[in-house]
Amino acid sequence: MESWQIGNSTVYRIEEQYGPLFDATTFFPDFDESVIQQHAHWMCPSYYDLSNHRLIASIHSFVIKTPHHTVLIDGCIGNDKSRMPYRDWHLMNTPYLSRLQTIGISPADVDFVMCTHLHVDHVGWNTRLENGQWVPTFPNAKYLFSKTEFEFWQAERNKNEGETFAAINNQTFDDSVLPIMHLAELIEGQHEVISDLLAIQPAPGHTPGSITISLSEGGEEALFSGDIMHHPIQIAETHWNSAYCELPEQAIATRRDVLSHCCNHGSLLMPAHFAYPFCGHIHQDDKGFRLSGP
C-alpha cells in the first residue's frame, strides 16, 4: 500500500484498476505518434505501452488520515453498476473496501468524501448496492463537490440519452450521486474544509465544476488534481486534452495554472490516474514542464 507523509497527515492510495487501460489514439484527439516517440525515453515502459499505443494508467482513490479526520478523494467506479458498453467497468466486483480495511478504515470511519468532479470513474463508491437499493457507502461522511458541477450534470440528465457517454453519465448521476444528496454539501468558489489544512479551489475545464484539493501542513503541500491531467504526457504537452474535456480551452489554461502552482510551491502533484509512482513534483525549464518522482 503506497503512502506519503505531508506534515502530520498520511495520504494512502486505494487501487481499483491498474494497467494498459486506455487507447491513446482515441483518448487524445491530438495524438501524434512522432510526439510520443519524442517522450518515449521517459514514458516507457512505466507510463506507456509503445507496442499497442495504450496508456498505462490507474483508477484509484486517495485517502487522507489527519490526526483528527479521515478524508476520501474520488470514489472510482464502484461495484455492481451497469456500465455497458464499457465492459471493463460493467458490474465490477473488486476488493476496494477490503483495501480500505488494510489501512484500518471501515466505511463508517470516513468523515469527508470529496469528488474532484462527477465523471463515472470518480463517484462510483459514493454508493453501494444493499437489498436492491443504492445506499451511501460512507454513511457518516459529508460528501463535498461543486455546486456548478452538480447543476451541470443535473441539466445534462434531462437531455437526450442517445449518445453513449451521455447515457453512462446519466446512469452514474442516478446511482452514484442522487442517492447521497441528503449527505452532500454543494460548494462554490474557494472553500476551506479543515482549517489551515484542507482547501478546495475551482479548476474548471475538464468539467465545468472541476476542483482541486490541497493538503497543506508543516510547509508541505499535496495537490489532488483529479483529471486536469490524466497522463504524464499532458505535463510535457500541456495542450493535449482528453476526448472527455467539456471546456477544451479552459482545460488547457487550468492545466498550465496547476502545473505552475506546483512548480512555484514545490507541491506534490497527486492526479487521479497516473501510473506508478502515481504522483510527483513539477519542474520547469526553457523546454516546458517536466515530472520528477515524489
Domain 3-292: CATH class, spelled out:
alpha beta
Radius of gyration of the chain (CA): 18
The residues spanned by each domain of the chain are 3-292
Report, as an integer, the average pLDDT of 21-47.
96
* Pick from 112, 2, 189: nearest CA to 126: 112
CA dihedral sign of residues 226, 230, 232, 234: negative
User: Helix (H) and strand (E) counts for the chain?
Assistant: 8, 17
How many of the other CB atoms lie within 10 Å of CB of 92? 17
Do residues 61 and 137 lie in contact, with contact meaning Cβ atoms separated by under 8 Å? no
User: What pLDDT score does 192 carry?
Assistant: 86
Which residues, 6 or more positions from 173, have their beta carbon under 8 angstroms from its beta carbon? 118, 153, 154, 156, 157
Cell matching residue 289: 514542464
* Pick from 174, 158, 207: nearest CA to 78: 174
Cell matching residue 150: 452538480
pLDDT band for 109, please (50, 70, 90 cuts). very high
Q: What is the pLDDT of residues 244-273, one digit of tens each?
A: 999 999 999 999 999 999 999 999 999 999
Cell matching residue 278: 502515481
Q: What is the pLDDT of residues 35-69, one digit of tens each?
A: 999 999 999 999 999 999 999 999 999 999 999 99
Report, as an integer, the average pLDDT of 138-159.
94
Q: What is the pLDDT of residues 111-139, one digit of tens each?
A: 999 999 999 999 999 999 999 999 999 99
User: What pLDDT score does 17 carry?
Assistant: 97
